[in-house]
Amino acid sequence: MDLDLDAVPDDVTDFEAGAVTVTGTDVWVMDRANPLLLHVDTSHSPPQVVEYLLPLSIEPPPDKWSRRVHADRDGCWITSPEEIVRCARLGPTELSVHRVTTEGGDYTIDYEGRLFVCTYPHHSVHDHPQYGFVHIDPDQYPVRELIDGDLIPVLDDSITAIVQSHRRRADRVETADGTKWIADATLTAELPEGTVHTIDLDPRTPGQVQWIREDPSQDPAFMDLPPESAPHPRENPQAGRILRARRR
What's the confidence (pLDDT) of residue 130?
65
d(CA 169, CA 205): 28
String of b and e for 199-223 (b: at least 16 CB within 10 Å)? bebeebeebbbbbeeeeeeeeeeee
Q: Is residue 7 part of a domain?
A: no
Instruction: Tell whether the model's pLDDT for residue 111 goes beyond 80.
Output: yes
Average pLDDT, the chain: 86
* Mean predicted confidence (pLDDT) in 135-149: 87
Whether residue 230 is predicted with pLDDT greater than 60 in this model: the reply is: no
- Three-state secondary structure string covering the chain: CCCCCCCCCCCCCCCCEEEEEEECCEEEEEECCCCEEEEEECCCCCCEEEEEECCCCCCCCCCCCCCEEEEECCEEEEECCCCEEEEEEEECCEEEEEEEECCCCCEEEEECCEEEEECCCCCEEEEECCCEEEEECCCCCCEEEEECCEEEECCCHHHHHHHHCCCCCCCEEECCCCCEEEEEEEEEEECCCCCEEECCCCCCEECEEEEECCCHHHCHHHCCCCCCCCCCCCCCCCCCEEEECCCC
Confidence at residue 134, expressed as pLDDT on a 0 to 100 scale: 74
Higher pLDDT among residues 142 and 233, named by residue = 142
Q: What percent of the chain has pLDDT over 90?
A: 67
Closest Cα partner for 82 from 135, 129, 15? 129
Residue 4 lies in a domain: no
Question: Is a pLDDT exceeding 50 seen at residue 236?
Answer: no
Mean pLDDT of 127-142: 74
Confidence tier at 143 by pLDDT (50, 70, 90): very high
Lowest mean pLDDT among 25-34, 53-62, 193-202: 53-62
Residue 49 and residue 204 in contact, taking contact as beta carbons nearer than 8 Å: yes
Does residue 6 register a pLDDT over 70?
A: no
Please give the average per-residue pLDDT across 191-199, as a whole number: 96
* 5 located within any domain: no
Domain coverage including residue 73: 17-244
Kindly report the pTM of this predicted structure. 0.81
Above 90 in pLDDT, residue 149?
yes
**Does residue 176 register a pLDDT over 80?**
yes
Total domains, the chain = 1
- Report yes or no on 8 lying in a domain: no
- pLDDT at position 239 is 45
- How confident is the model over 9-44, as pLDDT tens digits? 455 568 999 999 999 999 999 999 999 999 999 999
- When pLDDT is averaged across residues 85-102 and rounded to a whole number, the result is 97
In a domain, 11, yes or no: no
Residue 6 lies in a domain: no
User: Would you state the pLDDT for residue 92?
Assistant: 96
pLDDT of residue 8: 46
Kindly state whether residue 40 falls inside one of the protein's structural domains: yes
Q: Determine the Cα–Cα distance for residues 183 and 20; give it in Å rounded to an integer.
A: 6
- Please report the pLDDT score of residue 247 as a whole number: 45
